[in-house]
Structure 1
Amino acid sequence: MSHILIVEDEPIIRSALKRLLERNGYQVSEAGSVQEALDGFSPGAYDLIISDLRLPGAPGTEIIQHAGTTPVLIMTSYASLRSAVDSMKLGAMDYIAKPFDHQDMLATIARILQEHARATTDEETPGDQAPVGGQPAASDNSDIGIIGSSPAMQALFVKIRKVAPADANVLIHGESGTGKELVARALHNLSDRAGAPMISVNCAAIPETLIESELFGHERGAFTGADKARAGLVEAADGGTLFLDEIGELPLEAQARLLRVLQESEIRRVGSTQSQKVNIRLIAATHRDLKALAKEGKFREDLFYRLHVIALTLPALRERGDDISEIATALLERQRLKAKRTEPMHFTDECLKGMHHYHWPGNVRELENAIERAVILCEGNRVTLDLLGIDVDLEQPAAHAKAPQEQTGQSLEDYFQQFVLEHQDSMTETELASRLGISRKSLWERRQRMGIPRRKAGTEAEDER
């Protein structure tokens, strides 16, 4: 059982987080300040420390130097990512914004503990982790951290292992929910930069008016509200990896600044006349056709070719054959443990068949949402097809054989629009988002971008149920 130390001065937040962690099988100790943690505990003896950034007395980052090899996760009350920059520079393993989503917190903790355990094992048994040739066997994907035995995924893993040490820019193509950030993290972990930070940024989640300041930082007085100078996320990634997800949503002005980073290896904060050198590896991801966007003038062509040094394509879930069963089984076990179900659970044959027939427009994210729902609703230990809540006709050929674009000539955007328009009268916004494998916020943002009006009557009441 992993032992976690929480350092948080607000009793309500501290007790809520403690209950969440204990419900999920963690042993928890707690302190209200860094000094209290140092006086009453030995920080280096824990498996993980979760500390608020702003605490009475010393800031939460102060505990990093006392933690030894124990990873530290910093919580920040700012919605902006800027407050996490200094934490990463000082050695924090990761950060999470408050108020945090319980799922995000648990997923972040699990990932940090797994990465730390893997790193510790590698240090204790050097040279024994891979067969002759320096690479793991094809069936052992522990170095990648992604489930997949299908030929498409095995070919991708081979490319990841070849590309990771090269330090070249990488562009990852893939539909939403396929796990592009997992590929980026594998590239980082297998590179010479693994000991430095990997900073992840979702370009679609940051308002256009703030994106340049978030990425490149700003000087005091650069704009209204800039009461002090701030480093940007590019600067925070110095020496490590910068992962820009949904880079197709990056405004043209920010694209020009990013191009300079790639060409000159330097940045200039907003409002500054001075440039400074940075050493980053850029990994970008998108579900859009950047070349087509460049022809339409919506994406800089010179930036596209800078990014497109090496391109990796992550297949959709429906194209991965038996990987669906393998992933589903792993997700079922994760959700069973999360729900504190003591008996092993399994899928019925009909359920497995249905999962292979369904086209999974939201990919792995939608599959995980469906399995979480099934575990919650399941009264025994057999997960049936109806519990997944997917609309599938078992008499029809398996839908994963072809993607929606191949079946109908539709783009992913067209498919999204058609799905929403066809189902919004019978589904709530929460159900629509779940079926598409995206958050309600992403659903709202796509509605705005594509001009799809939301239903009026009854929507608010239904969504709150």
Structure 2
Amino acid sequence: MSRILIVEDEAIIRSALRRLLERHDHEVSEAGSVTEARELDPQGFDLVISDLRLPGEPGTDLIHLAAPVPVLIMTSYASMRSAVEALKLGAVDYVAKPFDHDELLDTVSRVLQQQASQQNIPPDVAEQGDQQPSMIGNCPAMQTVYSRIRKTAPADVTVLIQGESGTGKELVARALHQQSKRARAPLICVNCAAIPETLIESELFGHEKGAFTGANAARTGLVEAADRGTLFLDEIGELPPDAQARLLRVLQEGEIRKIGSVETRHVDVRLIAATHRDLHALSKTGEFRLDLYYRLNVMQIDLPPLRDREDDILEIADSLLAKACRRHDREGLRLSRAARRVIRDAPWPGNVRELENALERGVILAEGHLIHPDDLGLDPPSRSAPASAIKAASIDDSPEDDGDHDPEDLSLEDYFQHFVLEHQDQMSETELAQKLGISRKCLWERRQRLGIPRKKNPRRNVG
């Protein structure tokens, strides 16, 4: 059970948040200010959820007071500047008030999982720095992959990585290289499917000057360039027969011979191969040498497809989204609750690469601070649920009564509904959205979801 501290000066929101989190098995404590939170020792919690604007000190002061405990900031301002500043100060994330139950719970769950994963995922599996993407995921299948990498990397044996396109086979190859005794030597990556069949032997093994038409100078092959290091051959199932025979000699004898040369050279290369095809089945049809298959398959690592990693999908999406936001200078963009649901439920035949492309598209097309399913080019899982049913699923689980609600018993959706109904006669849609700290598009979507009709302006009907 996670311990969460809520720091919020509005009793309605604080009470609603507490009930919501306690219903989902979290232990919750409350404070109305930074001073009160300090007395509760914020470092003794797993997560702090704090309003940005509080009596006295601002909520961002808790970022340093609670460290290393993550702080999730709540803000009701239309301007994203305050939220982005909070992120720069070290807040783990932010949520805009008023927010949906599911969206808040997803965010809390993600933050807590990230904290847990930092302790559970072996640090030597993740890539160092920002130059290369890191391996993300904590599902049982990926834990098996991490274990196999740890055991296989130091052994200096040939490895065959199998998995669908886009599952991250090159990441595994890089992790194997970085944890091996060859980590200080070169890692040469080659996509066999991207090189024309007529050039593949020259690219891999090199050629002498005049060996064939167009060979105006001698060339060192990629196998020789990887000497004392690691050679990663992606999509090795696409190698033509002649290149397979040459590669087999490298594995058996540690020797290469350039095209057009009579001399052999010794090379010390560790080979890591990857494929999405069944090499054993290809060997039965003669498309792949059986003896080469046995040489390659000393150790095998199987990567699961993204659709089988339900527990990891949203964590991977958040990481890819953060990188896409940095590339396009769109800091502060987040996935809407509907977008997160669609991402979680999508089949992803293109795996992580397809997810990365969808998020890139979302960052480019998004308006405001939320990315919606339409921005991703993905359809929501279902559009048939009536607004009343969605509303019933969004608000309190307890039965409604027909009397007036005590303000302390208002849920977050109740708070939104009451605010809109109370102020829509005096405010325009733009003003309502600004006061709520959301975009007009988000305001419209929540009206639809909760079944709150927009108040018509009687002045428009004057003839």
TM class by shorter chain equals 0.5 to 0.7
- Residue 354 (1) aligns with residue 336 (2): no
Structure 2 residue 168 is the aligned partner of structure 1 residue 179 = yes
- Give the drift of 1:391: 4.0
Give matches, 1:101-112, under 5 Å.
none
Match of 1:308 in 2: 297
Match of 1:380 in 2: 368
SS in 1 for 2:233: strand
Within the alignment, does 1:239 sit opposite 2:222 as a pair?
A: no
When normalised by structure 2's length, the TM-score is 0.55
2:120 is aligned with 1:138: yes
Q: Any conservation in 1 of the 2:339–2:380 contact (CA below 8 Å)?
A: no
One of 321, 324, 339 as aligned partner of 2:313: 324
| CA deviation after TM superposition for structure 1 residue 362, in Å | 0.8
Q: Mind listing any 5+ residue stretches in structure 1 that lack a counterpart?
A: 1-135, 397-465
Residue number in structure 2 paired with 1:269: 258
TM-score by length of 1: 0.54
* One-letter amino acid of the structure 2 residue matched with residue 304 of structure 1: Y
| Number of the residue aligned with 1:279 | 268
CA drift of 1:254 comes to: 0.2
Structure 2 distance, partners of 1:305, 1:392, is 45
8 Å CA contact retained: 1:177, 1:363: yes
**Structure 2 residue matching 1:168: 3-state secondary structure:** coil
Larger Rg: 2
**Which residue number in structure 1 is paired with residue 413 of structure 2?**
none
CA distance in 2, matches of 1:363, 1:164: 25
Alignment match, 2:185:
196
Any stretches of 5+ residues in structure 2 without a counterpart? 1-117, 128-134, 385-463
Question: Distance between the aligned counterparts of 2:122 and 2:228, measured in 1?
Answer: 29
Moved over 6 A (4+): none
Take 1:141 and 1:147, find their aligned partners in 2: how far apart are those partners?
A: 11
Tell me by how many angstroms 1:393 deviates: 3.0
What per-residue deviation string (whole Å, max 9, x for no partner) do you get for residues 228-286 of structure 1? 21110000000000000000000000000000000000101111111110000000000
- Is this contact kept in 1: 2:228–2:267, CA < 8 A? yes
Question: Which residue identity does 2:328 align to in structure 1?
Answer: A
Q: Contact 2:325 / 2:363 at 8 angstroms: preserved in 1?
A: yes
Q: 1:204–1:249: 8 Å Cα contact kept in structure 2?
A: yes
Q: What is the rounded CA distance, in whole Å, between the counterparts of 2:263 and 2:301 in structure 1?
A: 36
CA distance in structure 1 between the aligned counterparts of 2:383 and 2:212, rounded to whole angstroms: 61
Whether the 8 Å contact between 2:320 and 2:356 is mirrored in structure 1 is yes
User: How far apart, in 2, do the equivalents of 1:191 and 1:142 lie?
Assistant: 11
Question: For residue 64 of structure 2, what is the aligned residue in structure 1?
Answer: none
Q: Number of residue pairs matched?
A: 260
**Does the 8 Å CA contact 2:342/2:379 hold for their aligned counterparts?**
no
Instruction: Give the aligned partner of residue 257 of structure 1.
Output: 246
1:15-26 to 2 correspondences below 5 Å: none
Aligned-partner residue type, residue 212 of structure 1:
E
Q: CA deviation at 1:137?
A: 6.0
CA deviation after TM superposition for structure 1 residue 351, in Å? 1.2
1:370 aligns with 2:358: yes
Q: What CA distance in whole angstroms lies between the structure 1 residues aligned with 2:185 and 2:351?
A: 30
Partner of 2:218: 229
Q: Which residue, out of 198, 201, 206, partners 1:217? A: 206
Cα contact 1:144–1:157 (8 A) shared by 2: no
1:219 positional shift: 1.1
C-alpha distance in 1, partners of 2:212/2:187?
28
Decide whether the 8 Å contact of 1:141 with 1:147 is kept in 2: no
Alpha-carbon distance between aligned partners in 1 of 2:346 and 2:303, rounded to the nearest angstrom: 19
| Cα displacement string for residues 47-73 of structure 1 (whole angstroms, at most 9, x for unaligned residues) | xxxxxxxxxxxxxxxxxxxxxxxxxxx
Matched, 1:345 2:339: no
